[in-house]
Structure 1
């Protein structure tokens, strides 16, 4: 039975990582699943809306609270079981999970390039990495513990509550508050990383060959130039040995050039927009070729200290070269000033209803602008170009689509809504953003 709880009367100021989402809200830090259930039933009884939040790393308003915010920082911990099945508290940050897995000889199959998110938040928004043969984080899920707005605790897997399990792997925080997740890890492995300069024209001419030349490939295109930075990561056994970057080189490349110097480029471009094109050429040349071998999570993850806003669209893989070529054309025609590179990654098709890779092999195209600026016509152009090929926006990143449009992009959209409408018919877990992208719950 859920413990009784009283919702706080005072409010706290909240903002997300990039600072574009803010709220004053009552905040609850439950220490148990029973307390989560009590918070939800109390809020439902009082007619108040609740949003769970992780690290606040989403750029969209998906986690923005309106009345009550549930922070799961007390629901942490990692338990590694037989065969690499690892059960994780939903409030556990990915970097802590990665460290514990490495300590016990395991690793996640694929990761995004940021590890500050909580496990629950990363899953809710469809976090992914890159690799033509590999799915996002949701494809590694084997079980989910979820608390519904009426206080019921559902423990779901492929055999138990299978329809909830299927949808909740990318659940947007709309089905219930996820309190724990079981993931399938694999024996720890290393990545041999090779990074160096390339050309967008060459990438577009032979996109498939480039993006499948090894296990995990991504590249960054620097607008105002034809220059790219290409990252190719090959999976290798730990037994073959590690050859990490020297400490001085890691600090110079990843802290001085990629963060401190780039922050200066962004600041200069904001003060004097005419400097952006020449500064983009400097940025494109700044990071030279390098190679090293290290534990997988240390290669997958990058430091991101310069704050930004992001839009990312998942497009059918076969259309990626045309999308990128069109983005280059409209960027040049628009004469925009964009210091941030465009990131390009791949993912294999999966079977998760609201995964951006649901049912199709996918390429991701991500655009960025400095935090505190108006993305304006650049993001609008990305959305238009991606939309022409049925692009799906990343749930945690900025976009302007609504439920009517998203239903056309996701063949299993109504399957997800049926689960949402059954578990949360009054929209206790909704906010204005979810009302827009999913449609209002039937009881609102």
Structure 2
């Protein structure tokens, strides 16, 4: 290997990164490259190849809605999988046999045309997969369009009405997912005003279990709407979404470099004010608490005990220019059909090989990522598209090919977020925890949401995103890292993100009635109505409901009404979990 001539860990690591970058650039120049070095498109297999489905499972690649409806109708087990950016195999896979199909939405003719040839023409034909309505302040987009392409299109949508373009009110850190997959899993940025992407949706078009195409809005059916906003693919295949959009304005980004203990004190102050305001019904105090953390994001460099807190202020003036973040490389390849029109054999993806360089000095990697991330948090005034932290499609691909890792995200109720961070401060005092990290943790905040399966259902939450880069390199559990995840789960009432790692280990017998006490059986009633045969159930065992009435177990459907789970029933704990 070329990099072996470098003796030092730092030199070796930098050499590897340089090679990876050069390779990525070469693959960008040759969209048809098929070498194993360039890797298969993310759409062909799950993330990094560690969670492959059974080889018997087929991949559905519909080119139009009719073909999609036929796929849903003709297969017993179906799952929409976005671009496969998931660390949860049991949920990602539709089943284990040839009667199971994982569907991607990136190859509908109009969507694929945009992905292969990005267009930013504001005079869009009727079949264009992104349609802006400036009068209503909305955008309608096909589900397979990557989030970064939607953001770039909006930022360039310059008209007399809005010369600086448009944007989503809040968007996520990873923006390479399909927009339909991002909404289905509750993908979010950091905002205590606008909520996750799911809270910004005003209309959903979905193919249901019986193959029909249905449209839902908050007014048409409030109960089913709350279920569909974040459905984790359990209720159907999303085909089209409408979002509210906001004019692009200048945003001022500030940066404070503090310790984790200082950040914990700041969050504790917000927590206490929030709790006091909630207890006394003082809405002004609650609003002040939320405002103190609104649009706050923090990088926590564990080994060096640094927290980079970034805050954002939206300015009245428009930006002078909009800097775009576009990777023009096509990310989808077309294949010919086999048995069922639109159904194809999987192209299994070999697991990404370990990278021994990442096992080296934790402090080096902490400083390295601090250096590379500094431009992301630099103070200043930017267009909204560029002010908020996000990783481009190309950046995500470069990171995903450098070394295998598992990404966890857990959400902690704001009512105890500060107390939780203080527990984390105590855990971080042990040198072993710093040595267990290679990249910084990302801490964000999301407002309370009504969607039944939203992590933030019930109250605002603090989200902690952490990555384990050692377990897959060494083949041995990264015990201090996993101990932190366990702390968040057991001592901080943390919920796990629907698309991230950790479910089999940290929720082996997930009890939705305990973790989502006010909404779990409401979602179960939506399942009874839209998917009674379990077509979209996947391999995961989380989709279990138990209802009791007058102390006696009854079938869930007896407790369901058009508005959800009936009040006279009890959403009971899973018996096999007790």
Identify the TM-score tier after normalising by the shorter chain. 0.7 to 0.9
1:137 correspondence with 2:197: yes
CA contact 1:50–1:429 (8 Å) conserved in 2? yes
1:36 correspondence with 2:88: no
Moved more, 78-87 or 121-130: 78-87
CA contact 1:14–1:22 (8 Å) conserved in 2? no
1:148 correspondence with 2:192: no
Name the structure 1 match of 2:512: 406
Query: Which one has the bigger strand percentage?
Result: 1
For 1:191-340, what aligned pairs fall within 5 Å after superposition?
Answer: 191-207=251-267, 208=269, 212-213=291-292, 215-239=294-318, 241=320, 268-270=357-359, 272=360, 275-277=361-363, 279-280=365-366, 283-284=369-370, 290-300=378-388, 301-302=390-391, 303-304=395-396, 305-307=398-400, 308-333=405-430, 335-336=432-433, 337-340=436-439
Unaligned runs of 5+ in 2: 1-41, 112-128, 158-164, 271-288, 325-354, 547-554, 558-578
Unaligned runs of 5+ in 1: 1-11, 246-265
Q: Distance in 2 between matches of 1:119 and 1:395?
A: 15
Q: CA deviation at 1:28?
A: 1.8
CA contact 1:111–1:297 (8 Å) conserved in 2? no
Name the structure 2 match of 1:72: 105
1:429 correspondence with 2:536: yes
- The DSSP-based 3-state class of the residue aligned with 1:206 is helix
Instruction: Give the direction of change, closer, same or farther, for the CA distance of 1:432–1:332 in structure 2 (3 Å limit).
Output: farther
1:86 correspondence with 2:139: yes
Q: CA deviation at 1:99?
A: 1.6
Q: Distance in 1 between matches of 2:415 and 2:318?
A: 37
Q: Distance in 1 between matches of 2:421 and 2:385?
A: 28
Q: CA deviation at 1:214?
A: 7.0
Instruction: Give the direction of change, closer, same or farther, for the CA distance of 1:92–1:366 in structure 2 (3 Å limit).
Output: same
Number of positions where the alignment pairs a residue of Structure 1 with one of Structure 2:
404
Name the structure 1 match of 2:527: 420
> Please, what is the CA RMSD of the aligned residues?
3.0
- The DSSP-based 3-state class of the residue aligned with 1:239 is coil
CA contact 1:349–1:362 (8 Å) conserved in 2? yes
CA contact 1:214–1:233 (8 Å) conserved in 2? no
- The DSSP-based 3-state class of the residue aligned with 1:151 is coil
Q: Distance in 2 between matches of 1:36 and 1:69?
A: 11
Moved more, 159-168 or 189-198: 189-198
1:17 correspondence with 2:47: yes
Instruction: Give the direction of change, closer, same or farther, for the CA distance of 1:437–1:294 in structure 2 (3 Å limit).
Output: farther
Q: Distance in 2 between matches of 1:117 and 1:287?
A: 21
Q: CA deviation at 1:29?
A: 1.2
Instruction: Give the direction of change, closer, same or farther, for the CA distance of 1:154–1:95 in structure 2 (3 Å limit).
Output: same
Name the structure 1 match of 2:239: 179
Instruction: Give the direction of change, closer, same or farther, for the CA distance of 1:405–1:388 in structure 2 (3 Å limit).
Output: farther
Equivalent of residue 223 in structure 2, options 163, 173, 178: 163
Q: Distance in 2 between matches of 1:40 and 1:369?
A: 36
1:350 correspondence with 2:449: yes
Instruction: Give the direction of change, closer, same or farther, for the CA distance of 1:243–1:51 in structure 2 (3 Å limit).
Output: closer
1:100 correspondence with 2:153: yes
